Structures are given as C-alpha cells and as structure tokens.
Structure 1
Amino acid sequence: MNDIVSEYEISILAMMAAGYSDTAIARRVSVSTRTLERHVARIMSRVGAKSRLGLGAIAAHHGWLDAARLLAVMDATRASAAEELAT
C-alpha cells in the first residue's frame, strides 16, 4: 500500500479512529494490549506523531483512513455486537 505503514497498521488506525479501546483492538487482532500499545508507539515514532490525536491527523492527511475503511470498521463493530447479543 505504501512505504510508511502496513495494511495491518492501517487497520489498527481505523479501529482507533472508530473509537475502539486498546483492549478491543488487541482482541480483534489477536495480540495483548501491551503488544498493541507497542505497535501504536512504533507507528507514532515512524510518522513523527507526538500523540494519538496527531497520529489520526497524519493518517487522515495521507489518506490512510478513507470513509469506506471507517464505515467497514463500524459495520464490523455492529455485526460483532449483534452476535454477542444473540448468544
């Protein structure tokens, strides 16, 4: 996709932008919360972001978080919530 961040990292950014907690993101990508925090810190360092808000702004500026990706994340969230309620 690009030389700065991977598709996996962009999926993490999309979940962050959609309002997922670190715990929820970690669960969805099958890593510990601490590992997820290290991933986010590494992304921030690589792109020069000083905060998660800054990371979101950089991601939006570069077009990594387009509307279609965010809608897909939110749809997946709704589907997951519906499954949990059904069980």
Structure 2
Amino acid sequence: MESYSLSETGRLYNYTIVYRSYPGISVPFISAVVDLDDGTSLKGNLLGVEAEADALTFGMPVKMVFRGAETANADALGFVAHFFVPA
C-alpha cells in the first residue's frame, strides 16, 4: 500500500437522492459520484444542496470537505468522513 493525494475539487458526475436508509441516517440525502480534477472518481454525500433534482446539475463544480461522520450517521460520533459541497 502507498499513500496517494486526491484532488479536492471536481465535478458532479452522477447522483442518487436517497429517501430510505438505515435507522439513524437522516433522509433524504444526496449520494454523489464525483470526477475529481486529477482524473479519479470518488463517491460521497453531497451537502449544502437541497435533495431535489431541480437543485442539481451534472457537471456542477464541487469541493471535498471533511466533517464529523455524524453528519451522515448519528451513531458515527467520533469518526471523520469526506463529503462534497458546491464549489
């Protein structure tokens, strides 16, 4: 194994608005696939946008951020996760 630094910016490639999930996970939320500017792709939740198709645009610029994992799962207090926000 070796470390690899990913780009922190990219564009929304695809998404799903999730309405049903496990207990403790707030819905709806946006599960996104982002094409990063370095050529890699990464999946993560998109924050800061209404979970409505009209609010999302394929190719919209996004930025990776790190937050407490409890942002997505109430039981994940103490863990850190990556998310995306509009750039």
- Smaller-chain TM-score bracket: under 0.3
Higher-helix-fraction structure = 1
Give TM-score, length-normalised by structure 1: 0.22
